């Protein structure tokens, strides 16, 4: 969407120019992955219960529109984990540990919310910052292992997902101020620590989404306009050359992983500090030794957004949208897990959507565009 | 001594899934493809194995026959599911880690979806008992018999048979030689007429079969016949990757690494039975974290000199030479 | 009509954007050594890949013994008796020699390897052609020359009749080259037919019977070597007369710019040190060349000099300042410019635009950034200036993605960047590798210009011609030690080769005295 808006820079409206833009090709390949994912979901629905497949599919695609507030609320944590994964990806790191960082952030935010007494208006901000710190610590460690001990960040951060999850669940369960053992969930977060609501009735949407979008824009500026972003991308593209150019690769790896972890930690904080639709209450967390799914959904969000901070905003909203739609399918007898399957399928196709598209493009060109092809060749040789 | 017997008897059924899946990972990486989707493939195999057991457990079929047939089904299921990775990573030259991650994400959700739809629960629980109290003759051998052939599962013996086969295939056969060449220097293999794509498909497929079986053995030996979408295989697929790295992509070393990790895990879950550890009063959660912490430590210590197959992780492109 | 064992007729092979082979014909007689001559990028390797089944030609046919054949993959080629020694060896380093030789044609029973009979055959062949290889050695443990003989054995083991050698001498010492050429002659005498790809005229004159010349993908003709001269061949290859010597005045060395004392650097591969107790100076206004065979410590030396690796002991002084412990960037700021060996891996971020690459060493300077924000306007202006002055050609100017540029222009971009940056010392590592004659001349001229502008130049090169022509002083490195200092005017390639292969050395005393 945004790519088409970017086009007016050119004085003349020229379809060819647009199709050559890199953003456009990311957009179309993401679209292709989404379509394939949805088709797959539809087929599963047809298989499970042909009678209500159409109705169910309509919920998936359109259901979220009726609940825009919730779509944005649930988009907030995956926007943050998406940014986390995408940011690390720019540096050539695959932060599969967003999940653990997210959980750690969630705990740090909870801790500050319950255990610290702070004035209204400041409490929730400090709690958010605490969440960021928690995530940063959990991202820093795999970064450190990668940079100084040469341990692959993928394995490390997976291990830290488990370690973090066990630790947090243990800490929560052993803290009576936070945990209610009869409901096996955490208590409602004190009012002063809840993020102010955006005031859309019947929805949890809160100021967190605004902060999230602001952060995405800041990240975009950092990556595109600053020397830090320049170094980061250079290292991601070619770590040898960046080292030859005197960039501090190891420092940047640790920094990037810490920032990435901080972003995921913010996601955890935004989730748990959100006010719920019921007055005075907030979201709660149930420590049952399960790895947080929002961390992995961040991978989907990041891939769909091609690791581009602004693209990630849109993909987070989109994923949240079909998730909301997915929960509605239970009205016609489906299980909401169907959306997780669809998301996984989307990731799968995103992994090679670019290649698939280009080979499809080549096929079409070879059938219909022989002449144009030749012209291109001549032009290239003339260079 | 009883505690030692207990630990070994309980450790082996845990070690075998790790061993098999790590061997699978080894075949895949030796062919040049990083298979991070082992976790998902395990669960997929386990689920189909359990589905089979669930459907035949009422019949008169003997438990060990069911176990073997279930193993076969789980292997085939793992193979089929791994084709998705082969297709993405070999044919489409996609990022291997991302494709594998997609495989991992898909299965827990699919298992939940399917189980909720057809069993109205989070997974399947079978009630067939595969436990073997004592293997005739072998179980009577003093000490060794008690360690390895009593209170065990058939899976343990099968696991070691697979280990022997894997070692021979990797080092003594034409296939093994070609597979290793593809993971080290695919262009060299290509130049002598070896089809790199085919070999990589083979490597990933073997990993699929072994991971499927490993997942099934996990459900039999560790989860007592339960397979569900929430706990899945509890990170065993990822631990198996660590086992493989710790084992330096070599079968026998992988076995020792698997035993080591299995020992830690068994210890963690047996704390209450070991007075010494129990009296320390450490929260059990710490013991549960032990395998993961040990992985970190082991990787940190070994990675500097670790020697992964040179071409792993890089999609093979014929035209780039 | 003569009998040809192989005829490649009117071969055309296109790649996206270029025609690598344009209507090329090559005919090989049985038992001859047939040279295929052309510059880098002339299409020699492509043509041979077509013959070897790695590529399929769009047009043209291949005949063997007068009959048309289809070669779709290396297996087909092998079945027809065609074998190839690739420029970059196709050997699995962690395998043994024997395993590499049998790979693809393994003797087996039911899929189980039967190595013993293969070993006998390898030993027999090795004996017969005087190749002296140990079948049980690991490839990573043996020398480059030995690895090449393993490649030759691979062909002989498969009973190949047509042997293709792709630039086989590029990695060898003069003595090893001599041995190889002798082996090739022996093979031809045994009735093998040899295609010899090269751009070195001396070697063609020495061993080949006939020579086919390619230029920019086009067929220039085939000549009998005994009826031609080096000059004529070079004219066919390049299309104009080329000067084999670099024109330059006598060097006028001034102050010491770089001073290395007792440098010792650890090796990453083996336990011994890769560089041992090396000392020398480079003065302003001279080009010093560090010559040697690949793998004698040059890489480690450059890493230690530029700051990518730590010294075990010893010191480096640049313009009088000790930089032994300085970071890469401090050395760069202190006056060291560096043209790295591998421009794709180390010199450029290929996915960055040309302008982004041109400021790779300077983006952090006040000129290009303000409080951490890059001044893109300044970057553009600067890039346009460099592109103009150094004649860097690219599709979309400063915005071109560097990956899409030609090798020569990529190298020009690096040179522009490194030369335009303030520097006293220019370290150039194999700056002409893989480039065509025009680009090579350009780069040599730039090096001499730097010298004449009063800068110190340290050239690390494997190319003997380059060593002899460009340098004012030659230091020979062998197994991590400087084994000789030579004056290019007073020495010759043979003597240089003896030093490079470790057969001869100045006493260490002499060198120390001079330093």
Alpha-carbon distance of B143 to C289, in angstroms, equals 71
Q: Which of B66, B48, B70 is nearest to B57 (CA)?
A: B66
Do the Cβ atoms of A337 and B230 come within 8 Å? no
Helices (H) and strands (E) in chain A, counts: 16, 2
Do the Cβ atoms of C350 and A238 come within 8 Å? yes
Do the Cβ atoms of C346 and A240 come within 8 Å? yes
pLDDT of residue A109: 96
Chain B hits for A338, CB-CB cut-off 8 Å, are: 109, 113
Q: Which of B136, B129, B130 is nearest to B150 (CA)?
A: B136
ipTM: 0.88
Q: Could you tell me if residue A112 is inside a domain?
A: yes
**Smallest Cβ distance to B193: which of C74, C93, C112?**
C74
Residue B255's pLDDT band (boundaries 50, 70, 90)? very high
Residue A196 belongs to a domain with what CATH number? Answer: 1.10.3470
Q: C55, C76, C102, C104: which to substitute to probe chain B, counting the most B Cβ within 10 Å?
A: C104
Alpha-carbon distance of C6 to C82, in angstroms, equals 10
pLDDT of residue B70: 94
Q: Which of A255, A274, A267 is nearest to A134 (CA)?
A: A267
- Percentage of residues in chain C having pLDDT higher than 90: 53
Backbone region of residue C454 per phi and psi (left: phi > 0; alpha: psi in -120 to 50; beta: other values): left
pLDDT surpassing 90 at residue B31: yes
For helices B154-172 and B174-184, give the axis angle rounded to 10 degrees: 80
Range with the poorest average pLDDT among A129-133, A199-203, B144-148, C94-98? A199-203
* Helix, strand, coil % over all residues of chain A, rounded to 5: 75, 0, 20
Q: Six-digit token pair at A57? A: 């599919």
Alpha-carbon distance of B110 to A289, in angstroms, equals 20
Backbone region of residue C348 per phi and psi (left: phi > 0; alpha: psi in -120 to 50; beta: other values): beta
Residue B275, min C-alpha distance to chain C (Å): 48
Chain A hits for B303, CB-CB cut-off 8 Å, are: 149-152
Q: Measured between CB atoms, does B308 come within 8 Å of chain C?
A: no
pLDDT surpassing 60 at residue A375: no
pLDDT of residue A362: 59
Backbone region of residue A284 per phi and psi (left: phi > 0; alpha: psi in -120 to 50; beta: other values): beta
Angle at C177 between CA C175 and CA C178, to 5 degrees: 65
For helices A22-48 and A293-304, give the axis angle rounded to 10 degrees: 130
Residue entry with tokens 């670790």: B306
Chain A hits for B308, CB-CB cut-off 8 Å, are: none
Rounded to a whole number of angstroms, the distance between the first and last alpha carbons of chain C is: 66
Residue A136's pLDDT band (boundaries 50, 70, 90)? very high
Radius of gyration of chain C, Cα coordinates, nearest whole angstrom:
25
Residue C154, min C-alpha distance to chain B (Å): 9
- Hey, is A134 helix, strand or coil? helix
Q: Could you tell me if residue A160 is inside a domain?
A: yes
Alpha-carbon distance of C176 to C144, in angstroms, equals 10
Do the Cβ atoms of A155 and B97 come within 8 Å? no
Alpha-carbon distance of C399 to C412, in angstroms, equals 16
Q: Six-digit token pair at C401? A: 């993605």
Q: How many CB pairs under 8 A join A and C?
A: 69
pLDDT of residue A4: 38
Average pLDDT rounded to a whole number, residues B109-137: 84
Residue C197 forms beta bridges with which residues?
C36, C166
CB C457 within 8 A of CB C286: yes
Range with the poorest average pLDDT among A188-192, A370-374, C203-207? A370-374
Helices (H) and strands (E) in chain B, counts: 13, 4
Alpha-carbon distance of C513 to C515, in angstroms, equals 5
**Smallest Cβ distance to C73: which of B173, B178, B193?**
B193
CB B237 within 8 A of CB B40: yes
Q: Measured between CB atoms, does B192 come within 8 Å of chain C?
A: yes
Q: Which of A136, A132, A81 is nearest to A299 (CA)?
A: A81
Q: Six-digit token pair at A49? A: 């219960």
Chain A hits for C338, CB-CB cut-off 8 Å, are: 244
Q: C92, C94, C106: which to substitute to probe chain B, counting the most B Cβ within 10 Å?
A: C92
**DSSP structure class, residue A176:** T
Q: Could you tell me if residue A282 is inside a domain?
A: yes
Chain B hits for A345, CB-CB cut-off 8 Å, are: 102, 106
Q: Tell me the residues of A at the B interface, defined by beta carbons under 8 Å apart.
A: 44, 48, 94, 96, 145, 149-152, 154-156, 158-160, 162-163, 166-167, 169-170, 174, 288-290, 296, 299-300, 303, 335, 337-338, 340-341, 343-345, 347-348, 350-352, 355-356
Residue C252, min C-alpha distance to chain A (Å): 31
Range with the poorest average pLDDT among B292-296, C135-139, C259-263? B292-296
Q: DSSP strand E in C45-155: where?
A: 59-64, 67-69, 82-85, 108-109, 112-113
Angle at B100 between CA A345 and CA B265, to 5 degrees: 125
Alpha-carbon distance of C462 to C169, in angstroms, equals 11
Q: Which of A37, A50, A38, A2 is nearest to A22 (CA)?
A: A2
Buried b / exposed e over C22-52, threshold 16 CB at 10 Å, is bebebbbebbbbbbbbbbbbbbbbbbbbbbb
Do the Cβ atoms of B98 and A340 come within 8 Å? no
pLDDT of residue C156: 94
Alpha-carbon distance of C197 to B177, in angstroms, equals 31
Residue predicted with more confidence, A304 or B25: B25
Angle at C146 between CA C140 and CA C152, to 5 degrees: 115
- Hey, is B94 helix, strand or coil? coil
At the second CATH level, the architecture of C4-238 is: 3-Layer(aba) Sandwich (3.40)
Q: Which chains have 3+ CB pairs within 8 A of A? A: B, C
Average pLDDT rounded to a whole number, residues C298-321: 91
Give the nearest chain B residue to A339 (CA atoms): B109
pLDDT of residue C513: 42
Residue B172, min C-alpha distance to chain C (Å): 6
Q: Six-digit token pair at A197? A: 């609501």
CB B175 within 8 A of CB B181: no
pLDDT of residue C344: 86
- Boundaries of domain holding A192: 68-325
CB C283 within 8 A of CB C290: no
Average pLDDT rounded to a whole number, residues B33-51: 95
Chain C hits for B174, CB-CB cut-off 8 Å, are: 106, 108, 111-113
Contact residues for C492 (Cβ-Cβ < 8 A; gap 6+): none
CB A318 within 8 A of CB A339: no
Tens-digit pLDDT profile for residues A150-200: 888 888 898 999 999 999 999 999 988 889 888 889 999 888 888 888 877
**DSSP structure class, residue A137:** H
Do the Cβ atoms of A241 and C395 come within 8 Å? no
Q: Measured between CB atoms, does B304 come within 8 Å of chain A?
A: yes
- Hey, is A165 helix, strand or coil? helix
Torsion from C-alpha of B221, B223, B225, B226, nearest 10 degrees: -160
Chain B hits for C74, CB-CB cut-off 8 Å, are: 190-193
- Hey, is C501 helix, strand or coil? coil
Alpha-carbon distance of B70 to B48, in angstroms, equals 8
Residue entry with tokens 């987070």: A316
Tens-digit pLDDT profile for residues C435-444: 777 788 888 9
Tens-digit pLDDT profile for residues C443-489: 899 899 999 999 999 999 888 888 888 999 999 998 889 998 999 88
Q: Which of C165, C146, C150, C20 is nearest to C82 (CA)?
A: C165
**Smallest Cβ distance to A338: which of B113, B283, B292?**
B113
Q: Measured between CB atoms, does A226 come within 8 Å of chain C?
A: yes
Q: Which chains have 3+ CB pairs within 8 A of B? A: A, C
Residue C140, min C-alpha distance to chain B (Å): 12
Q: Could you tell me if residue A31 is inside a domain?
A: no
pTM above 0.95, yes or no: no
**DSSP structure class, residue C141:** G
* Half-sphere exposure (Cβ direction) of A200: Cα atoms closer than 13 Å: 15
CB C308 within 8 A of CB C286: no
Q: Which of C9, C4, C63 is nearest to C30 (CA)?
A: C4
Chain C hits for B181, CB-CB cut-off 8 Å, are: 92, 95, 103
Residue C80's pLDDT band (boundaries 50, 70, 90)? very high
Helix locations, A174-274, DSSP H: 207-225, 227-237, 239-244, 249-272
**Smallest Cβ distance to B292: which of A159, A299, A350?**
A159
Residue entry with tokens 């053992």: A181
Alpha-carbon distance of B133 to B140, in angstroms, equals 12
Do the Cβ atoms of A344 and B292 come within 8 Å? no
At the second CATH level, the architecture of B2-305 is: Orthogonal Bundle (1.10)
pLDDT of residue B286: 87
What are the residue ranges spanned by the domains of chain C?
4-238, 349-409
CA distances from A359 to A21, A82, B65, C25 (A): 18, 28, 48, 33
CA distances from B18 to B38, B69, B139, B234, B300 (A): 11, 21, 24, 12, 20
Q: Measured between CB atoms, does C347 come within 8 Å of chain A?
A: yes
Q: Which helix (H) or strand (E) holds C279?
A: strand C273-283
- DSSP letter string over B50-84? HHHHHHHTTSS--HHHHHHHHHHHHHHHHHHHHHH
Give the nearest chain C residue to B191 (CA atoms): C74
Residue entry with tokens 């080092």: B171
What are the residue ranges spanned by the domains of chain B?
2-305
Alpha-carbon distance of A265 to A193, in angstroms, equals 16
């Amino acid at each position: 969407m945004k790519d088409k808006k970017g086009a007016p820079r050119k004085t003349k409206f020229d379809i060819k120019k647009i199709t050559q833009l890199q953003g456009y090709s990311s957009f179309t390949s993401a679209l292709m992955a989404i379509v394939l994912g949805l088709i797959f979901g539809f087929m599963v629905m047809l298989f499970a219960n042909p009678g209500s497949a159409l109705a169910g599919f309509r919920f998936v695609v359109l259901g979220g529109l009726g609940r825009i507030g919730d779509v944005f609320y649930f988009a907030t944590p995956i926007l943050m984990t998406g940014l986390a994964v995408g940011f690390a990806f720019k540096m050539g790191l695959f932060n599969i540990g967003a999940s653990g960082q997210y959980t750690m952030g969630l705990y740090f935010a909870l801790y500050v919310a319950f255990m610290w007494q702070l004035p209204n208006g400041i409490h929730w901000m400090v709690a958010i910052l605490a969440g960021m710190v928690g995530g940063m610590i959990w991202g820093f460690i795999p970064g450190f292992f990668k940079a100084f001990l040469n341990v692959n960040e993928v394995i490390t951060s997976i291990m830290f997902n488990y370690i973090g999850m066990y630790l947090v669940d243990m800490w929560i369960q052993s803290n009576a101020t936070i945990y209610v053992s009869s409901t096996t969930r955490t208590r409602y977060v004190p009012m002063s620590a809840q993020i102010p609501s955006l005031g859309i009735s019947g929805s949890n949407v809160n100021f967190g989404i605004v902060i999230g979008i602001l952060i995405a824009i800041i990240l975009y500026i950092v990556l595109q306009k600053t020397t830090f972003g320049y170094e980061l991308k250079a290292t991601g593209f070619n770590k040898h050359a960046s080292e030859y150019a005197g960039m501090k690769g190891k420092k940047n790896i640790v920094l990037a992983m810490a920032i990435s972890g901080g972003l995921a930690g913010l996601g955890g904080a935004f989730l748990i500090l959100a006010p719920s639709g019921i007055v005075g209450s907030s979201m709660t967390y149930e420590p049952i030794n399960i790895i947080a799914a929002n961390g992995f959904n961040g991978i989907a969000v990041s891939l769909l957004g091609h690791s581009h901070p602004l693209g990630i905003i849109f993909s987070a909203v989109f994923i949240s949208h079909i998730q909301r739609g997915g929960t509605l399918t239970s009205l016609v007898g489906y299980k909401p897990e169907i959306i997780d399957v669809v998301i996984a399928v989307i990731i799968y196709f995103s992994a090679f959507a670019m290649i698939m598209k280009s080979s499809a493009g080549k096929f079409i060109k070879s059938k219909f565009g022989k002449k144009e092809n030749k012209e291109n060749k001549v032009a290239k040789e003339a260079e | 001594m009883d505690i030692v017997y207990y630990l070994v008897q309980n450790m082996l059924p845990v070690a075998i899934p790790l061993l098999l899946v790590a061997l699978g990972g080894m075949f895949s990486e030796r062919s040049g493809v990083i298979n991070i989707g082992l976790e998902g493939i395990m669960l997929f195999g386990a689920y189909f194995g359990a589905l089979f057991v669930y459907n035949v457990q009422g019949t008169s079929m003997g438990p060990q026959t069911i176990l073997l047939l279930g193993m076969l089904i789980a292997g085939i299921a793992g193979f089929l599911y791994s084709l998705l990775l082969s297709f993405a990573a070999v044919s489409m030259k996609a990022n291997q880690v991302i494709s594998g991650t997609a495989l991992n994400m898909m299965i827990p959700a699919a298992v939940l979806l399917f189980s909720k739809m057809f069993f109205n629960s989070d997974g399947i629980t079978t009630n067939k008992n595969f436990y073997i109290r004592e293997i005739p003759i072998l179980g009577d051998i003093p000490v060794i018999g008690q360690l390895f052939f009593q209170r065990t599962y058939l899976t343990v013996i099968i696991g070691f048979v697979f280990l022997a086969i894997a070692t021979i295939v990797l080092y003594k056969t034409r296939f093994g030689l070609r597979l290793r060449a593809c993971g080290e220097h695919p262009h060299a293999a290509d130049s002598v007429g070896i089809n790199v794509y085919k070999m990589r498909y083979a490597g990933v497929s073997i990993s699929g079969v072994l991971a499927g079986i490993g997942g099934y053995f996990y459900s039999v030996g560790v989860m007592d016949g339960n397979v569900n979408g929430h706990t899945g295989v509890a990170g065993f697929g990822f631990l198996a990757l660590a086992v493989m790295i710790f084992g330096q992509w070599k079968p026998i070393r992988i076995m020792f690494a698997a035993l080591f990790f299995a020992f830690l895990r068994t210890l963690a879950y047996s704390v209450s039975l070991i007075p010494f550890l129990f009296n320390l009063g450490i929260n059990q959660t710490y013991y549960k974290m032990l395998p993961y912490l040990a992985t970190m430590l082991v990787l940190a210590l070994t990675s500097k000199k670790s020697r992964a197959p040179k071409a792993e992780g890089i999609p093979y492109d014929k035209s780039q030479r | 009509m003569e009998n040809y064992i192989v005829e490649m007729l009117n071969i055309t092979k296109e790649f996206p954007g270029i025609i690598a082979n344009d209507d090329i014909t090559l005919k090989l007689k049985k038992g001859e050594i047939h040279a295929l001559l052309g510059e880098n990028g002339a299409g020699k390797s492509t043509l041979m890949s077509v013959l070897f089944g790695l590529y399929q030609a769009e047009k043209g046919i291949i005949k063997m013994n007068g009959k048309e054949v289809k070669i779709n993959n290396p297996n087909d080629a092998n079945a027809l008796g065609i074998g190839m020694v690739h420029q970059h060896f196709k050997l699995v380093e962690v395998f043994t020699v024997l395993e590499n030789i049998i790979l693809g044609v393994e003797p087996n029973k039911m899929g189980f390897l039967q190595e013993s009979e293969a070993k006998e055959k390898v030993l027999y062949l090795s004996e017969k052609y005087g190749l002296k290889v140990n079948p049980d050695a690991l490839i990573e443990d043996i020398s480059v020359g030995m690895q090449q003989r393993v490649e030759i054995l691979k062909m002989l083991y498969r009973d190949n009749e047509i042997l293709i050698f792709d630039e086989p001498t590029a990695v060898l010492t003069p003595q090893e080259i001599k041995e190889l050429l002798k082996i090739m002659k022996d093979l031809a005498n045994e009735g093998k037919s040899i295609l010899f790809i090269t751009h070195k005229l001396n070697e063609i004159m020495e061993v080949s019977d006939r020579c086919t010349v390619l230029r920019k993908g086009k067929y220039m003709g085939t000549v009998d070597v005994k009826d031609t001269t080096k000059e004529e061949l070079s004219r066919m290859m390049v299309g104009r007369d080329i000067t084999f010597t670099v024109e330059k005045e006598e060097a006028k060395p001034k102050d010491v710019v770089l001073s290395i004392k007792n440098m010792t650097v650890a090796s990453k591969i083996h336990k011994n040190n890769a560089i041992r107790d090396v000392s020398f100076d480079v003065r302003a206004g001279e080009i010093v060349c560090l010559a040697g065979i690949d793998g004698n410590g040059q890489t480690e030396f450059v890493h230690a000099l530029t700051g990518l690796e730590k010294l075990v002991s010893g010191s480096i002084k640049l313009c009088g300042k000790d930089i032994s412990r300085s970071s890469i960037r401090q050395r760069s700021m202190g006056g060291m410019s560096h043209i790295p060996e591998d421009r794709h891996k180390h010199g450029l971020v290929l996915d960055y635009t040309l302008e982004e690459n041109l400021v790779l060493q300077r983006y952090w300077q006040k000129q290009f950034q303000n409080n951490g924000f890059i001044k893109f306007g300044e970057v553009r202006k600067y890039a346009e200036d460099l592109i103009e002055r150094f004649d860097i050609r690219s599709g979309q100017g400063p915005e071109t993605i560097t990956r899409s540029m030609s090798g020569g222009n990529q190298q020009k971009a690096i040179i522009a960047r490194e030369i335009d940056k303030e520097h006293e010392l220019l370290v150039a590592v194999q700056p002409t590798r893989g480039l065509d004659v025009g680009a090579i001349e350009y780069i040599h001229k730039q090096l001499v210009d730097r010298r004449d502008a009063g800068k110190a130049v340290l050239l690390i090169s494997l190319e003997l011609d380059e060593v002899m022509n460009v340098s004012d002083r030659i230091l020979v490195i062998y197994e991590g030690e400087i084994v000789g200092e030579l004056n290019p005017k007073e020495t010759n390639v043979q003597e240089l080769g003896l030093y490079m292969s470790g057969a001869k050395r100045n006493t260490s005393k002499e060198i120390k005295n001079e330093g």
